[in-house]
Structure 1
Amino acid sequence: MRSPCCSNVPQKEPTRRRHFFLMSVLLFLLPAFTAYAAPPTILLGVQAEPLVDADSVGDGVLPWALEAQGLISFRTLLEETGYLSFLADLRAGLMFLTPVAGTDQEQLSLELGFPIGDGKLVGQAFLHSSFQGTIALERFTIPEWEIRYFFLDKPGVLNPYLAYTGSVQIQPEESTDHLSQGIMIGCEYQPSYLASYGLALEASWEHWYESILVTETGTQADDVRNDLLLSLTGTAGGIIGLYLDWDVTLSVLLRLSTANRYLTLPAVYEGDIENSLQPLLKARFSWSPSSHLTFEAAPFVGATVYFTRSALSESGALRDQTALIVSLGGLFRTSWTPDNLFYLFLEVNGEKSVVNTAEEDMDASFLRIAFGVKMTLQ
Structure 2
Amino acid sequence: MPDTPRDSAFPARHSAQNYHPLPVVIASADGAWMTDVEGRRHLDMLAGYSALNFGHGHPRLVKAAKDQLERVTLTSRAFHHDRFGEFCAQLADLCGMEMVLPMNTGAEAVETAVKTARKWGYRVKGVAPDRARIVVAAGNFHGRTTTIVGFSTDETARADHGPYAPGFDIVPYGDLAALEAAMTDDTVAVLLEPIQGEAGVVVPPPGYLTGVRELTRSRDVLFVCDEIQSGLGRTGKTFACDHEDVVPDMYVLGKALGGGVVPVSAVVSSAAVLGVHRPGEHGSTFGGNPLACAVALEVVALLRTGEYQQRAAELGAHLHRELASLAAGGAVQQVRGRGLWAGVDIAPSHGTGREISEQLLERRVLVKDTHASTIRLAPPLVISKDDLDWGLEQMRSVLAG
Decide which structure has greater helix share.
2
User: Which structure ranks higher in relative contact order (CA pairs < 8 Å, sequence separation ≥ 6)?
Assistant: 2
Q: TM (normalized to structure 2)?
A: 0.24
Greater share of strand:
1
Alignment TM-score, normalising by the size of structure 1: 0.25
